[in-house]
A and B are shown apart, each in its own frame.
Chain A
């Protein structure tokens, strides 16, 4: 298959996410919804269960707003709306962490008002130290024990090691694709890569890996560039699971060649290193992944962004926090000062979870890229 056709398979999975999940549930298999990219999915996979990402939908949040105040981010309200509308009734479990105030409260409300059999919140440290890795190891173990107790199963060391291998494979393949973005004319657009990554949160992992293998082969053999020759941009911001937003940027003179998104490069940036204790190895991997703005100190995150600007030859940065996402909005304050100091042009677009004001976004990105090109 050509890379375009291959990408279509991932895009289809993302577009029909709920149906695709239903189509792929093996009879009798448990399905566990997870929220936040710090959840060590490998533990769920190792349990023989089907891990799927929990996210929002297109419907207005009329029910959710009476449980979560309108000053909370639209991602959590939209996610709760889906749950309240029964769209997550098929889940056997819901796992998240105390990532931010909004997710914490979503979890409380979910645990209190939904009937999901297994609900679990992990305690995620705010920094990466020997002490915090040790602590997070016990939290990963608690997740394992929680699943074992709730479903009367046992998760073996071997199954954890195999899960690590399988997820490392996905990440290595995604890294190979990511490397291609450093080219003058990347063979894959930012919007396409986002869909490729998102599909991993929907499709069963083994099938996902086979598709990725094929895609890597197709992309590497591809002659014609796929990029649009636009201004090289780095996209930063809150959770993003709608590639339309990136497409809009790429139709307005930009080309997203790098991202600092939890649904983007954070998914695959680092692999799990071998350790005699697989739980510790996982704790280490998840804490060492690119920092979300909740992590302290912010310097780690800023340093990584500076590195990406250099390595991907980025000409401008688009910051796209969801409104009321305090972590990303406030994280944008120090980032904007860093960018200013480095003389890197940036544009901040505060958005809602569901894409609105597309015309306005297009105009703003067009003038931003025009300025960068000196038009």
Chain B
């Protein structure tokens, strides 16, 4: 039985650790954006902790719901998948304990590893008990079921923000009404009233952050690329935790200014950029150092990945709040856009265009063992990008968070084989 107290100790520990990181960075005169990043994360965890300690409502959210609404209604939230990834990255002992717990609860081992970690955390009482769960039908079946399970573990009400398969007129209307229904759900459950003027203010801040995020993506098109493969994950984390807040804007602005300076100096992330890699998915989250290794060994820089992809073809208008909230997820990530059908969203064409825009000269796809949504696109992507476009295309088998599926070493072997073949021409 999950108790109200559960997770308080763990979250307090996180807030303290983040505080320690900030102090250390200050002492080292780290980049401004780095300091803001950790501060924003500390604020985010701190808000959740404070809500729990004061008996205020707390939301457990998915990666794609309209988090801005929560900011506007002053309801703290935390993203279960992000949190699970962060905890799952901590130590292999903890990771395995989380997986074992989820499996003991009945989750098969072929389930998406961040999800297994999330259920493990919930079952072990290692995270704050939410009062509400809000998730989305984007991005996949497993996400859909994960939040049902979590709501079940905690015995709390949940709301699923539905994602129509096409954003045509009817789909848009449906999704807009669904957001309005979510607002009613939140108002009823928390007793707080949404102030639309406040929401517009939050959305203006969110838009500002998104605009900078898009500009960062633009900067990554520069040769040589000013940032490495890990950048996308960091930026997306703040999009999820802090878009709609001033500190979120501060982070993206600082980050943009720093990178712009680098670009003006003609400085790349590696001394000699030999390959520009379009990583057509998410990096193995249990070992992000694979990105550094690629840079060091082969001068191969990941110039785009699913997390760092900021689509510019979606307009967000803060003066039309509901429309903003419906369209916002479409800006983010291949995974999210992959939810839609090829014939309408042109997912394959979209990714091919990304490869061209980023001036990629190789494309690599991590075949995450549990992700059918994505592995189901491999053949289509290979035919288009590897075939018609003629980019060397490689599929590396692996898993996002579970090295027992494929270890870092095995992934590196596979990547090395590919690059050596490319080098040989």
Q: Which residues of A contact B (CB under 8 A)?
A: 66-69, 71-73, 98, 100-102, 104-109, 111-112, 121-127, 129, 131-132, 134-135, 138-139, 142, 293-294, 296-298, 323-324, 326-327, 329-334, 336-337, 350
Contacts and interface: CB of A to CB of B under 8 A. Distances in A.
Contacts of A332: 106
Given A101-B140, A135-B171, A333-B105, A71 B375 contact: yes
Given A293-B145, A330-B111, A132 B162 contact: yes
Given A104-B376, A337-B152, A123 B165 contact: yes
A288 B106 CA distance: 29
Contact of A296 (B160, B181, B342): B160
A111 B342 contact: yes
A12 to B, nearest CB: 35
Contacts of A122: 165
B144 interface: yes
B177 to A, nearest CB: 4
B385 to A, nearest CB: 14
A125 B106 CA distance: 27
Contacts of B372: 69, 71-73, 101-102, 105, 324, 326
Interface of B: 105-108, 110-111, 137, 140-142, 144-146, 148-149, 151-152, 158, 160, 162, 164-166, 170-171, 173-174, 177-178, 181, 341-343, 347, 367, 369-373, 375-380
B interface: dominant SS: helix
6 contacts: A66-B379, A98-B341, A123-B164, A296-B144, A297-B151, A330-B142
A302 to B, nearest CB: 10
Contacts of A132: 162, 174
Contact of A68 (B110, B342, B347, B379): B379
A126 B380 contact: no
A135 B106 contact: no
Given A330-B111, A331-B145, A333-B149, A138 B170 contact: yes
Contact of B164 (A125, A293, A350): A125
A111 to B, nearest CB: 6
Given A66-B379, A69-B376, A108-B376, A135 B170 contact: yes
A109 B370 contact: no
A332 B152 CA distance: 13
A325 to B, nearest CB: 9
Contact of B141 (A100, A106, A337): A100
Contacts of A108: 341-343, 347, 376-377, 380
Nearest to B376: A105
